[in-house]
Copies of this chain bind each other. A is one copy, B any other.
């Protein structure tokens, strides 16, 4: 009997991170890192379930929960083989509903919810196959991989045949890189040192701890106060020394010309990239910034708010980005991520996934490892973001050792959360929130 999806359950889970200013930046002042947590109940034995999330920063999470409920009827009653045998068709159904697409299409709340569902199906698929997601993907042939990818709207930049060529080029040597990943893991960088709300002495201390822990890349937030940023980047450069990499992240704070001026002032600290200098929708603006900063050796990175493959196609085609920062939940799940990995390979731009938040590290480790083994075949200038918080809520959390993600071994997509975390941080009824309301009322 094929496994049937019998129910789609969506939970609103929020962590009160705004209390500590973890995650504070130029645009996200007091985020409460949150997840819309999707459970696909199935007819499978032993309570087999697929799990998926989309990440949000607090308010608005309830909208993603509601959007999962709106999409649910397209999934309930489907067998797993009926989905994965023509996975691209399933994906088009989800994003192409004749009524729901109006409130997207393929962007914002509805696309974040689509990601949670699509990722839950992949988690289920990987669990049924008894493999971690990256290994499930690595074991698919180039032909099978191309069949799950939505090529609609990107064929002017990447045809299925071109994608096939890229995948076939790496296929004969997959096993070598798989062994390497199992032994050494995938390089990471840390963002835990430089949140905008942290005082200088805390940043210095975290830099020293990071250097001692073996980190080679350090990223800090900028964009609110130019003088403070100049001080902070030179302070971090001083702490990490000349040879480690420094990246800066403005989280969309600037207009185009302002971004160019601001980064000229930060250039002496030799940042490798400026991340999200302006509106995430501004492809041509990013391209102008990239051209202006190129003589200074600074490249542009973006992607955590690039909402679909059409946006990435253009960022890549316009030479607007030097680093491609896919997001596992902003894009419409694994299928669309695969499209972007192949687009990036086609344009020879390194993929450095966005992580942090809730569960993003757990997710993107699979994508980066797959990218190396089957698509890019290179680790050159490739690092995956790592932020050291909230991992304790996952059954099989991401593990980083010596600045590298350890290749996951548990079957699935690593996103299953611990039942006690789901209970405690349920919003608004969980104990973490009812207690917080009491504490705040007492302030």
Q: Please give, as numbers and ranges, the residues of chain B lying within 8 Å of A173 by CB-CB distance.
A: none
Q: How far is the CA of A171 from the CA of B340 in the complex (A)?
A: 49
Q: How far is the CA of A98 from the CA of B57 in the complex (A)?
A: 8
Who on chain B is nearest to A55 by CB? B102
Q: Please give, as numbers and ranges, the residues of chain B lying within 8 Å of A99 by CB-CB distance.
A: 28, 30-32, 56-60
Instruction: Give the number of residues in A that approach B within 8 Å (Cβ atoms).
Output: 63
Who on chain B is nearest to A111 by CB? B108
Inter-chain contact A156/B257, CB cutoff 8 Å: yes
Q: How far is the CA of A166 from the CA of B64 in the complex (A)?
A: 41
Q: How far is the CA of A27 from the CA of B93 in the complex (A)?
A: 12
Q: Please give, as numbers and ranges, the residues of chain B lying within 8 Å of A278 by CB-CB distance.
A: 153
Inter-chain contact A110/B108, CB cutoff 8 Å: yes
Who on chain B is nearest to A256 by CB? B156
Which of B109, B153, B311 interacts with A255 by CB under 8 Å?
B153
Inter-chain contact A280/B156, CB cutoff 8 Å: no
Which of A30, A108, A153 has the largest count of B CB atoms less than 10 A from its CB? A108
A421 at the interface (CB under 8 A from B): no
A104 at the interface (CB under 8 A from B): yes
* Interfacial residues, chain A to chain B (CB-CB below 8 A): 27-32, 56-64, 66-67, 70, 96-112, 152-156, 252, 255-258, 278-285, 288, 305, 307-308, 310-311, 313-314, 317-318
Instruction: Given contact pairs A31-B99, A153-B282, enumerate 7 new A-B contacts (beta carbons under 8 Å).
Output: A56-B99, A56-B102, A60-B100, A105-B305, A109-B110, A156-B257, A156-B288
